[in-house]
Amino acid sequence: MSVFRWPVRVYWEDTDGGAIVYYANYLRFLERARTEWL
Protein backbone atom coordinates (compact mmCIF):
# COMPACT_ATOMS: atom_id res chain seq x y z
CA MET A 1 0.00 0.00 0.00
CA SER A 2 1.38 3.42 -0.92
CA VAL A 3 1.62 6.31 1.49
CA PHE A 4 -0.43 9.44 0.79
CA ARG A 5 0.64 12.66 2.47
CA TRP A 6 -1.13 15.95 2.12
CA PRO A 7 0.41 18.73 4.20
CA VAL A 8 -2.08 21.36 5.31
CA ARG A 9 -1.54 24.80 6.76
CA VAL A 10 -3.80 25.66 9.67
CA TYR A 11 -5.06 29.22 9.52
CA TRP A 12 -6.33 31.40 12.34
CA GLU A 13 -9.92 31.00 11.10
CA ASP A 14 -9.65 27.23 11.70
CA THR A 15 -8.98 27.67 15.41
CA ASP A 16 -11.04 28.59 18.43
CA GLY A 17 -10.33 31.31 21.00
CA GLY A 18 -7.56 29.24 22.58
CA ALA A 19 -5.70 28.89 19.24
CA ILE A 20 -6.58 25.18 19.10
CA VAL A 21 -8.02 23.69 15.92
CA TYR A 22 -11.78 23.48 16.30
CA TYR A 23 -12.79 19.82 16.13
CA ALA A 24 -15.36 20.26 13.34
CA ASN A 25 -12.68 21.66 11.03
CA TYR A 26 -10.96 18.27 10.97
CA LEU A 27 -13.82 17.12 8.73
CA ARG A 28 -12.92 19.85 6.25
CA PHE A 29 -9.28 18.76 6.28
CA LEU A 30 -10.25 15.12 5.78
CA GLU A 31 -12.59 15.94 2.89
CA ARG A 32 -9.94 18.05 1.14
CA ALA A 33 -7.35 15.30 1.57
CA ARG A 34 -9.78 12.67 0.28
CA THR A 35 -10.49 14.79 -2.80
CA GLU A 36 -6.77 15.21 -3.49
CA TRP A 37 -6.22 11.48 -3.00
CA LEU A 38 -8.83 10.63 -5.62
Residue 14 catalytic?
no
State the alpha helices, DSSP H only, in 1-38: 25-37
From residue 28, alpha-carbon distances to 1, 11, 18, 24 in Å are 24, 13, 20, 8
Catalytic residue (one of 10, 15, 16, 36): 16
Question: Hey, which residues are catalytic here?
Answer: 16
